[in-house]
Structure 1
């Protein structure tokens, strides 16, 4: 039982460090946040940070971005869980995801002030996001009646790319308008996949 408690304690400390890193990035920006800042904010020593993130600042920032992206997708998945079918889940996901990205003050600040640094970090995280989303959508597609000849794996890949593209940049569609989102999903996302 002792080792279980130690694991919980380690996870709490790791989460404390990640949350402190987010606070520091909010305060000073992505490029200016240092290990000293994070250690001070977390109330821990630099040595403790290195025990959890042996790769130093780069490792810590990467894991913080990955952690925050993971939290975003966990909220997204929870939000769409009650939707009755694939199209409805995509609609709810686009509305929620677009709003959450738009309202994420830290993300919007970094996009205005340090977009290159964020894009560099996200370039390492995006393959993980795509793989998780593809697996989630593939499971949903296997429960749907698809048009003849539609390969569920290819459809999951297509929907993943479409979703990530639109949730980040809505283009001509107003993702705050439920009727437009429904039309977008029915015509562009699932129109060729479902009978």
Structure 2
């Protein structure tokens, strides 16, 4: 992608992030984003052919990349794969709850977004997460720490579903014991 196009896309994503904070994801329009970026609507549509949904997804993916960078640093300090799974899920739940834009995209009824936009976002999120954990996943499987019969894509989707359910149906107290009892055994090789 040419540098000018990348710069314009980044400018639009920054403007969208600002508008989402000001108006909320559900009420932000392409006109709002274009005005905040100091660009025409046509330029926004040329840069993001999918329109508003594609801009929302770009903001979500940037937020997610930032979270995954912080999570990777934190997981490197965990004593075991089991601890990494538990703390990764706990951190992901806290991240989504603490980021209204992300929460709005993962709970479509709260934001009023179309199911199509959410499904597209989920697909991108799953792919990004799988790509980020793939090297660690492969290493853990080689060392016999993860079940050999699972795939990174399946494990990420499973954890994504667990995280989504924990957001939708919060538990009282610390969820770590629940995760250690029911989620960890689904992924980690028993010793």
Scaled by the length of structure 2, the TM-score of the pair is 0.72
Matching residue of 1:145: 144
The alpha-carbon distance between structure 1 residues 134 and 46, as it changes in their structure 2 partners (threshold 3 A), is: closer
Deviation of 1:31 after TM superposition, in Å, equals 4.1
Deviations 1:131-182 (A, max 9, x none): 34345253243243248xx434x254553233212322325755x63xx41x
- Could you tell me whether the CA contact under 8 Å between 1:159 and 1:189 is conserved in 2? no
The alpha-carbon distance between structure 1 residues 113 and 159, as it changes in their structure 2 partners (threshold 3 A), is: closer
Instruction: Find the aligned partners of 2:129 and 2:85 in 1 and give their Cα distance.
Output: 12
Instruction: Find the aligned partners of 1:112 and 1:161 in 2 and give their Cα distance.
Output: 18
Residue among 9, 22, 30 paired with 1:14: 9
Matching residue of 2:183: 189
Residue among 165, 170, 174 paired with 1:169: 165
Deviations 1:46-88 (A, max 9, x none): 3432332234334333433343344433433333233243212
Instruction: Find the aligned partners of 2:104 and 2:170 in 1 and give their Cα distance.
Output: 24
Instruction: Find the aligned partners of 1:190 and 1:76 in 2 and give their Cα distance.
Output: 18
- Could you tell me whether the CA contact under 8 Å between 1:141 and 1:156 is conserved in 2? no
Deviations 1:109-128 (A, max 9, x none): 67597434065423112223
Does residue 103 in structure 1 map to residue 98 in structure 2?
yes
Q: Aligned residue pairs: how many?
A: 183
Alignment of 1:27-176 (within 5 A): 27-108=22-103, 111=107, 114-117=110-113, 119-135=115-131, 136=133, 138-146=137-145, 150-152=147-149, 154=150, 156-170=152-166, 171=169, 173=171
Deviation of 1:94 after TM superposition, in Å, equals 1.6
Cα root mean square deviation, aligned: 3.3
Please identify runs of 4+ aligned residues in structure 1 that moved more than 6 A.
Answer: none
3-state DSSP of counterpart to 2:39: coil
Instruction: Find the aligned partners of 1:109 and 1:163 in 2 and give their Cα distance.
Output: 19
Unpaired runs of 5+ residues, structure 2, are none
